Structure 1
Amino acid sequence: MRILLVEDDAMIGEAISQALKDACYAVDWVRDGQSALSTVHRQRYDAMLLDLGLPHKDGLEVLRVLRAKKHSMPILIVSARDAVEDRIQGLDSGADDYILKPFEMAELLARIRVTVRRNAGIAAPTLSNGMLSLDPASREVTVDGVATLLSAREFSLLQALLIRPGAILSRVELEDRIYGWNEEVESNAVEFLIHSLRKKLGSSTIKNVRGVGWLVSKGE
């Protein structure tokens, strides 16, 4: 999954960005509100982490602009503004969650997982198509009762497919979920990851639609 981090504090931004990468997310980081709006216009994201006290355009204004344009991307406010009125205002303006600084990184990651699941209409903590189950918290996939730990890239690709079982994702769409701005993408990276996943999980787990992309079946 790909996350847009909007944070003007360099130390906080570095810490969150690294933690997200360690948790297998692709991360793009901007430091002001206007850049956030411009970036969302150009690139699709699975979620946004939004600070409020931003240069050029306040975080609440960014939030209101996006919601006024019917943008449904999950947005989690991450702010030091701890007054009840601020939290109410943020949630009523369209935020999916409001997280106070300082916070435990594990809690932030859990809240991202919950928000993204809810946005995809998934209530269960695991992603499943009836044949295999993926646990985003542990990065383990289970097939026929056997659990297998995936690499970061393998996890990101399989997660993108399992969020929408039955939907075909193209090479470009999968690359967008797996890689951030400054990460080099080799020409056969997606094929290599799919080959690796099939080797671990079985050749029928990921299907190819020639010339279009890949999918996992919906199951029964």
Structure 2
Amino acid sequence: MRGHDGAAGDGMNVLLVEDDPGIGRFVTRGLAGRGYRVAWERSGARTVELLAGGGFAAALLDLGLPDGDGLALCRALRGAQVRTPVLMLTARGALQDRLDGFDAGADDYLPKPFAFDELVARLAAIIRRAEAPVVTPPTFGALTLRPEARTASVDGQPLPLSRREYDLLARLVAGGGATVTRAALSNAVWGDAPVSDNSLDVYVGYLRRRLYEHPAAPRIATARGEGFRLHHPDQGTSQV
């Protein structure tokens, strides 16, 4: 079957929690035609139990249910550590209603009436996001890098860095404590642009001072004639 582009569901299980029989039949039949397997619940009573058991790629959750409020139900799901993506369906379409839905833990929010193709597209999107691999941020001891934001922190405390300081630190972290040559560091910071050894030393000095401001941060050791490497703060001298 085709992938999750709104054209086919690849036989995925979806839980629909909707008390309106007309909407329930419409969504169930439509999604079945797109390759999804739909389990339709008319109330929220079993929602937490069903989703906690796994096996569902996503849930479509109506806000107005006969036995409770969909917002409270979504909060209960997240409180029970159920991470199944949730697309809320509701007649409440004001901005504050949408914000309340996101605050309750919903992944997306679709006001009624809705176009079926938009429902399918939004459903496929939240499933894709949930399936995206979790990328572990690069770390070295108490230091953590966030490449997507080009930021760094030490024990959760921000480490203010310039763009070049960040590039230099990221390359040292990638070295994992091994010596990174001067040429490799220069290339990481300046690319193919010609740069003097003195310029690299200047930025290493800047970065050293940034790190020294945090007792738990790694230190930069100099490998004479070779390059630089990171080491933990309790491992002695900055020159080898």
In the alignment, is residue 18 of structure 1 matched against residue 20 of structure 2? no
Percent identity, please: 43
Residue in 2 aligned with 1:69? 80
Flag the structure with larger Rg.
2
Within 2, Cα distance between the matches of 1:22 and 1:93? 30
Q: Which runs of 5+ in 2 are unaligned?
A: 1-11, 134-240
5+ residue gaps, structure 1, are 123-220
TM-score (norm 2): 0.49
Alignment match, 1:88: 99
Larger RCO (CA under 8 A, 6+ residues apart): 1
Displacement of 1:56 after TM fit? 1.3
How far is the alpha carbon of 1:84 from its aligned partner?
A: 1.3
User: Once the two structures are superposed, what CA deviation does each residue of 1:63-99 show, in whole Å capped at 9, x if it has no partner?
Assistant: 0001011111000001111121111000111100000
2-structure distance, mates of 1:64, 1:37: 10
- Aligned partner of residue 34 in structure 1, secondary structure: coil
Q: Normalising by the residue count of structure 1, what TM-score does the alignment of the two structures yield?
A: 0.53
Q: Following the alignment from structure 1 to structure 2, what is the Cα–Cα distance between the partners of residues 66 and 117?
A: 20
Structure 1 residue runs of 4+, over 3 Å off? none
1:6 corresponds in structure 2 to 17
Matches within 5 A, 1:1-220: 1-121=12-132
SS at match of 2:63: coil
Distance 2:54 2:19 in 1: 20
AA matched with 1:94: G
Deviation at 1:37, TM superposition (A): 2.4
Give how far 1:44 is off.
2.1
Call closer, same or farther: CA 1:40–1:22 in 2, change over 3 Å: same
Q: 34-43 vs 67-76, which deviates more?
A: 34-43
Give the number of equivalent residue pairs.
122
Within 1, Cα distance between the matches of 2:39 and 2:99?
27
Q: Aligned partner of 1:84: which letter?
A: L
SS in 1 for 2:73: helix
The alignment yields a C-alpha RMSD, in angstroms, of 1.3
Equivalents in 1 of 2:41, 2:122: separation in Å? Answer: 21
Q: Secondary structure at the match of 2:45?
A: helix
User: What is the deviation of 1:43?
Assistant: 4.9
